[in-house]
Structure 1
Amino acid sequence: MKYKLLENPNIEEAYNLVDTGIRKKAVINIFAYCKVIYEGRALSQLDWGERFIMLKPDGSFLVHQERKIDPVNWQPPKSRSRAIIKENNLILESHRRTPKEKLEVEIEKVHFASFAIAEDYQELELAGYEKDMGDMIMKHPSMIEPGFTPTAREYNTEHGFIDILGKDSEGNLMVLELKCRKAGVNAVKQIRRYLADFEEENQDYLKEVGAEKKKIRGLLVAPDIGEDAKELLEEEGIEFKSVEAPKELKNDKKVTLDIF
């Protein structure tokens, strides 16, 4: 089940939905009459009112009022959330270990609640930067590794466009995913999907480039990588190459790219 939506559920129904959503690592949205208590580096209380509550698979926990962009209360990624029923109300808790913090939302009435399992492997791109990064690699392929030869760019698959395909010096197919900023877990998941596409559906292309009997290498190319993403790379056997995105250098007549 990709998503579920309940209108005016009772407390037990709402609890079951939230508990299922947390276990399934779904995005959970709730519109409810509630109060909010925070304990941590400070103490705060938000008395009863109607608010929008969002829980994300990365541990983020957000409470929004009907005004302002920012949440009125929130917990960052890697926090741990749970739902319990207490005295006929639904209690949502979010705990953070370092620093030690607790956000508790007590819900008396749920107007609607939903969860959705989203597949989104894209990260926000700065306009032009990743294209420039690709141009730079196509022009100087040895910056990836000696003997690397690009064979295709923006190659279409079921899960999106692969930035660069190529072969290494031994004829192994290389799938390159480019990120102009620090790469996260989503980038690793994205390249993992591309590798699965080739293993399952792109044997014709492997034969075309003479790599059907070779292994397929995944390579994430970015200036830096987060610790969570690094751990996932190691688990998946995907490689990482640190490459700085080109910087624009403007002079009186033209724009050039500084690649070193």
Structure 2
Amino acid sequence: MRLVIATCSVDYAGRLSAHLPLAKRLLMLKSDGSILVHSDGGSYKPLNWMSPPCTVASVDPTPEQVEVGVTEVWRVTQAKTNDVLVVTLYDIEHDSSHELGIDPGLVKDGVEADLQRLLAEQIELLGDGHTLVRREYMTAIGPVDILARDSAGAAVAVEIKRRGEIDGVEQLTRYLELMNRDPHLAPVQGVFAAQEIKPQARTLAQDRGIRCVVLDYDAMRGLDDSHTRLF
């Protein structure tokens, strides 16, 4: 991973356009080709980013840019959509590279681990005719929670969260991009399953062709007996 702290501006062009004016920011360039632009606020979420697969090219600034202090220009292109992120750098205060090695993946908390186990045991909750292939199906960037097959035999990748937010959809999107390159699996459908799915996450999932499934944890554990309820 390469970490750069620099005064920069950032412009995004693609399905929408966005501009970050000149300011000091942290730029993270990962080995998978992705780039994230962070400020000192806003919690963990980047101000802008480009998801893999993408390429980063360093472009010489124009004479006009040099006159106003531009030292370097990065042009980041998304391979599938041709969206472009342009980072215009002025003063670079820090530039370092670090080898992080292979990440073991996220260790699930108790509820997410239970949801994964229960859904594997009750795979029919995804739809009639679904069958389990395996839990924790490993990819090059981490394990997919569940790999299943639908009634037609097509592969289904399931990402499980306690609370479904945009980050979970992005995570599943990265898994699907890799899995759909495997001729033995493709085409792979995506299912985003959670106890609660935020409206923004649902909208993003639907835009990317990912199906959302809301899980009733108590019912899956057999604690919600419909015969004892009035409604």
TM class by shorter-chain length?
0.5 to 0.7
Question: Structure 2 residue aligned with 1:26, among 37, 51, 72?
Answer: 37
The runs of at least 4 aligned residues of structure 1 exceeding 4 Å deviation read: 55-60, 122-125
* 1:234 alignment partner in structure 2: 206
SS in 1 for 2:217: coil
| Amino acid across the alignment from 2:24 | V
What is the TM-score of this pair, normalised by structure 1? 0.49
- The code of the aligned residue for 1:26 comes to V
Give the distance between the partners of 1:173 and 1:259, measured in 2 at CA: 31
CA distance in 1: counterparts of 2:116 and 2:129, whole angstroms: 17
- 1:1-260, aligned counterparts within 5 Å? 2-5=2-5, 16-18=22-24, 26-29=37-40, 54-55=41-42, 58=45, 125=108, 127-179=109-161, 181-200=162-181, 202-204=182-184, 206=185, 215-246=187-218, 257-258=221-222, 260=224
- Structure number with greater CO (CA < 8 Å, separation at least 6) is 1
Q: Deviations over 1:179-229 (max 9, x none)?
A: 1x22100000011111111112x334x3xxxxx5xx321001111211211
How far 1:56 sits from its partner (Å)?
5.3
CA contact (8 A) 1:25 1:56 kept: no
Structure number with larger C-alpha Rg: 1
Q: Distance in 2 between matches of 1:187 and 1:20?
A: 23
Give the C-alpha shift of residue 16 in structure 1: 4.1
TM-score by length of 2: 0.55
Aligned CA distance change for structure 1 residues 2 and 59 (closer, same or farther; 3 Å): closer
Aligned equivalents of 1:134 and 1:259: distance in 2?
17
1:82-122, Cα deviation, whole Å (9 max, x unpaired): xxxxxxxxxxxxxxxxxxxxxxxxxxxxxx789xxxxxxx8
1:27 and 1:56 in contact (8 A); partners too: no
Give 5+ residue unaligned stretches, structure 1: 10-14, 30-53, 61-111, 115-121, 207-211, 249-256
**Number of corresponding residues:** 153
Residues 222 and 243 in structure 1, CA contact (< 8 A), matched pair in contact too: yes
Alpha carbons of structure 1 residues 156 and 123: separation in structure 2 relative to 1, 3 Å = closer
Contiguous gaps of at least 5 residues in structure 2: 8-20, 28-34, 48-92, 96-104, 225-231
Rounded Cα–Cα distance in structure 1 between residues aligned with 2:217 and 2:151:
24
Question: Percent identity over the alignment?
Answer: 22
Contact 1:146 1:169 in 2 (8 A): yes
SS of 1:169's equivalent in the other structure is coil
